Amino acid sequence: MIHYDIAVIGGGIAGFTAALRALEAGKKTVMISAGQSALHFSSGSIDVLGHFPNGEPVSQPFEAIPKLVRQHPEHPYAKVSLEEITQSLTWFQQQLSAQKVCLYHQEDNANHGRITPLGTVRPTWLSQGHVYQHRGPRRFSGLCFVAIEGYRDAQPTLAKDTITAQRDFASCPSRTITLSIPGAERLRRNRNELRSVDLSRLLAEPDAFDSLCEQLIAQSGPDELVILPAIIADVAGERGMDVLKQRTDRCFHEVPTMPPSLLGIRIETALQRAFASAGGVLLRGDQVTGGEFDDNGCLTALHTRQLEDIPLTAEAVILATGSYFSRGLNADRTQVSEPTLGLDMVQSPDRSEWRNDDFFSQQSHPFMAFGINTDNQLRPTARGKRCQNLFVCGAVLSGYDPVYEGCGGGVAIATGYAAAQRALAVMASAKEASHAN
Ligand SMILES: Cc1cc2nc3c(=O)[nH]c(=O)nc-3n(C[C@H](O)[C@H](O)[C@H](O)COP(=O)(O)OP(=O)(O)OC[C@H]3O[C@@H](n4cnc5c(N)ncnc54)[C@H](O)[C@@H]3O)c2cc1C
């Protein structure tokens, strides 16, 4: 038996937030993480609230959240206070900044527009340093979309055509330039196989990086916004993009590419570095296959695929296994379930109610809000019984659609932080009770 103070299941943004907070409080913490998180597919910006569930756009997320939770008491934001939400986001920014990944928001806390790889503009709240925050009048003369020769995971021509159809950019001159990265040809195993991570490795070589700088200076203008697929990695935080800006004197907007998304990976590696330097134990590639509950609803042991015969035990457990995408939820023909610990689910038993009739409808599909319901302490139930030392956070929670509402990152950070706080409080009162006896 291996014993920890806190065990976190799942290594996405919610799991890392909870684990880092537990480590900060001095707890011996283990994280078991089966595979890649949604960060590998994300924009690397943190959405707090872009739309109400009825589609109404939100410009000031922190002013809108009280109305959201009044109208939707089942929403995960209703389980945490507004103060906890803002506190957790500030804390998260500080954690990342200590790892040299700086995240910025508008001074008045409003959402800004982020130009997406498809050329649409999506609201978000916190973005990395070389992501252009669109709001109010533009300060550049035109848009310069960068295509990389032979690279198919970014579609700048499509993005250019889409953005100029939008009101804010209708009168904005835009063009596409094509750059070639020397050596890219030798990385390609077939016509389609060239990924952002391959290019980033190549661009870590001085010759390739110099060539990129020279081509950018020659082909783009200093008063344009240069829209660059995220292909520059960083050894330490954002240094690669900072150097590119210094060397070229250009203003960039980094856009995520098809997965893997370097903007999301940048956040994940920063979280991993913070976790390791705080002394956390990471069981990467292992998977929790089940747990044992006692009659009081206490989770007494966790089983993992790799530590088959050696159960893990912890004073408190935090479940952060994500949604369908990360297998935190599982859907078959008859039901949606939580496969890791078999927790009770909020779902519709009638399969015809899982989605809207029009699959491409502009509304959220009901199945997106299925998941684990909790009390205000973020504790779920298992077979009808309230769990005492288990706390749930992130995309596995029910009651919201992270993508449609544009609140995935915010909910993951706020509930991850709150789950750790709740676990610490329960552990503290258990300790007090044992001293009293
Ligand atoms: C494709 C995509 C893109 C998105 N982009 C954005 C964005 O740009 N900005 C934004 O704010 N939100 C975005 N979201 C919303 C997203 O839901 C949240 O932002 C957030 O990333 C969810 O984090 P999480 O930690 O809850 O789950 P995840 O990131 O899904 O992580 C869950 C982790 O748990 C692991 N796991 C699952 N089961 C087990 C098990 N039994 N044992 C051990 N480990 C397990 C998984 O392997 C995974 O690593 C996106 C969502 C998707 C699906």
Would the CB of 50 count as within 6 Å of ligand 1? Answer: no
What would the DSSP string read from start to end of 38-54?
A: GGGGS-S-B-S-SB-TT
Could you tell me the distance, in angstroms and rounded to a whole number, from the CA of residue 323 to the centre of ligand 1?
7
Return d(Cα 234, Cα 245) in angstroms, integer: 14
Return d(Cα 380, Cα 139) in angstroms, integer: 49
Looking at residue 365, the DSSP 8-state letter turns out to be P
**Could you give the angle at which helices 206-219 and 239-248 cross, rounded to 10 degrees?**
50
Ranges of H-type helices in 164-308:
184-187, 196-203, 206-219, 239-248, 262-277
Return d(Cα 252, Cα 229) in angstroms, integer: 10
Whether 237 has a pLDDT exceeding 70, the answer reads no
- How are the residues of the chain apportioned to helix, strand and coil, as percentages rounded to the nearest 5? 35, 20, 45
Confidence of residue 191 (pLDDT cuts 50, 70, 90): low
Could you tell me the distance, in angstroms and rounded to a whole number, from the CA of residue 75 to the centre of ligand 1?
18
Could you tell me the distance, in angstroms and rounded to a whole number, from the CA of residue 390 to the centre of ligand 1?
19
CA atoms 37, 78, 420, 109: torsion sign: positive
Would the CB of 412 count as within 6 Å of ligand 1? Answer: yes
Strands 112-115 and 2-9: unpaired
Better-predicted residue by pLDDT, 189 or 206 = 206
Would the CB of 297 count as within 6 Å of ligand 1? Answer: no
Could you tell me the distance, in angstroms and rounded to a whole number, from the CA of residue 49 to the centre of ligand 1?
17
Q: Are 125 and 105 in contact (CB under 8 A)?
A: yes
Whether 362 has a pLDDT exceeding 80, the answer reads no
pLDDT number for residue 358: 76
- % of the chain beyond a pLDDT of 90: 78
Q: Which residues pair with 301 in a beta bridge?
A: 292
Q: Which residues pair with 385 in a beta bridge?
A: 382
pLDDT number for residue 308: 80
pLDDT number for residue 33: 97
Of 189-203, 221-235, 257-271, 347-361, give the lowest mean pLDDT range. 347-361
Distances (CA, A) of 171 to 131, 181, 217: 21, 32, 24
Tell me: the pLDDT tens digits for 101-126?
A: 999 999 999 999 999 999 999 999 99
Tell me: the pLDDT tens digits for 76-89?
A: 999 999 999 999 99
Return the residue whose CA atom lies nearest to atom 31 of ligand 1: 12
Whose tokens are 């015969």? That residue is 309
pLDDT number for residue 238: 52
Over residues 319-347, the mean pLDDT reads 93
Nearest ligand 1 atom to alpha carbon 33: 44
Could you tell me the distance, in angstroms and rounded to a whole number, from the CA of residue 62 to the centre of ligand 1?
23
Would the CB of 415 count as within 6 Å of ligand 1? Answer: no
What's the chain's average pLDDT?
A: 93
Could you tell me the distance, in angstroms and rounded to a whole number, from the CA of residue 12 to the centre of ligand 1?
5
Going along the chain from its start, the domains and CATH numbers come out as 2-28+52-99+267-436 (3.50.50.60), 117-255 (no CATH)
Would the CB of 46 count as within 6 Å of ligand 1? Answer: yes
Whether 252 has a pLDDT exceeding 50, the answer reads yes
Looking at residue 364, the DSSP 8-state letter turns out to be P
Provide the token pair at 172. Answer: 């904005």
Confidence of residue 365 (pLDDT cuts 50, 70, 90): confident
Return the residue whose CA atom lies nearest to atom 15 of ligand 1: 408
Return the residue whose CA atom lies nearest to atom 30 of ligand 1: 322
Better-predicted residue by pLDDT, 22 or 333 = 22
Would the CB of 402 count as within 6 Å of ligand 1? Answer: yes
What would the DSSP string read from start to end of 268-300?
A: HHHHHHHHHHTT-EEEET--EEEEEE-TTS-EE
Q: Are 80 and 414 in contact (CB under 8 A)?
A: yes
Over residues 16-37, the mean pLDDT reads 97
Q: Are 170 and 160 in contact (CB under 8 A)?
A: no
pLDDT number for residue 189: 67
pLDDT number for residue 93: 98
Which of these, 394, 287, 395, lies nearest to 341 by C-alpha position?
Answer: 287
pLDDT number for residue 248: 96
Tell me: the pLDDT tens digits for 39-49?
A: 999 999 999 99
Could you tell me the distance, in angstroms and rounded to a whole number, from the CA of residue 327 to the centre of ligand 1?
9
Tell me which of 128, 321, 330 to substitute to probe ligand 1's pocket, judged by most ligand atoms within 8 Å of the beta carbon: 321
Whether 236 has a pLDDT exceeding 50, the answer reads no
Distances (CA, A) of 219 to 89, 207, 214, 222: 39, 18, 9, 10
Return d(Cα 12, Cα 27) in angstroms, integer: 20
Tell me which of 13, 30, 42 to substitute to probe ligand 1's pocket, judged by most ligand atoms within 8 Å of the beta carbon: 42
Over residues 58-69, the mean pLDDT reads 98
| Dihedral, 164, 169, 172, 173 alpha carbons, nearest 10 | -30
